[in-house]
Structure 1
């Protein structure tokens, strides 16, 4: 594998949760998950009943630019097992994803964007991060558009 997968930056997320204010200035409103199945961006797992979680506005970008969006993600507010190990989490193999590609100029490389069907994500990420024009790739939910994770060259 030539890419590394990362979820929400743990330091940025810890700061947000400590201040109880998200990146859009909203108060963080934790709740107990009754049913499970929320796609978590802190550890890149799916929630289970009883998890303490919150929906927060979060910017996954390590830079500032017009393309550095802030949007809703779901995160643990307590009991998170921690950041992922850098590999593609298994549940994403079966999820459609939109891949948004960012170049070294920190702009979207629109000609490289694509929608990836189940079973094709690993191969698509491999090809995109190998492109010398690419700084990172953001995977997003096809329907809601929410940020899923970032992929960078390993």
Structure 2
């Protein structure tokens, strides 16, 4: 199995929003108050606790617009938080029973036949198997219920700690 790293939203993307920037649709993020679990922050990859403010906004974790560049709603702590650092360990935000795990090629397009609803405990093994294939550049973990982006998984040797998803 290929050695993998779980990759959170790049800090540059979070900083853009924390500094008043707009989302992938050109809108300012909305502020909400968390009512508890179910609001995973895509930067620290932890859950946003009850009564904490969060930002909700449209996010496109791809370098450019194209037909496969999915955009969807995600959450971010309103206050700055540290980017997820335990990249070799499945993040605590992955607390549902299962997720969609899907491979993408170097061209940032879905590699057909790779997407599968995967039990959470099997994500690392499934992603490692996908990343062992030469046509798979990276993997997305997405909500199995709403298709929202959760995190990216990369081969350990390709992992870029502070870079954007490119």
TM-score (norm 1): 0.88
Q: Structure 2 matches for 1:16-27, cutoff 5 A?
A: 16-27=17-28
In 2, the alpha carbon distance for the partners of 1:131 and 1:71 equals 27
In 2, the alpha carbon distance for the partners of 1:55 and 1:90 equals 19
Higher mean C-alpha deviation, range 60-69 or range 114-123: 60-69
Match of 2:160 in 1: none
User: What is the Cα deviation at residue 94 of structure 1?
Assistant: 5.3
Classify the secondary structure of the residue corresponding to 2:139.
strand
Match of 2:159 in 1: none
Classify the secondary structure of the residue corresponding to 1:138.
strand
Distance verdict in 2 for CA 1:26–1:86, change over 3 Å: same
Higher mean C-alpha deviation, range 17-26 or range 115-124: 17-26
- Is the contact made by 2:41 and 2:76 (CA closer than 8 Å) also made in structure 1? yes
Match of 1:116 in 2: 118
* Aligned Cα root-mean-square deviation (Å): 2.0
Unaligned runs of 5+ residues in structure 1 are none
Q: Which structure 1 residue ranges, 4+ long, deviate > 2 Å from structure 2?
A: 31-37, 49-52, 62-66, 81-85, 90-95
Higher mean C-alpha deviation, range 6-15 or range 84-93: 84-93
In 2, the alpha carbon distance for the partners of 1:91 and 1:23 equals 22
Count of aligned positions: 154
1:135 aligns with 2:137: yes
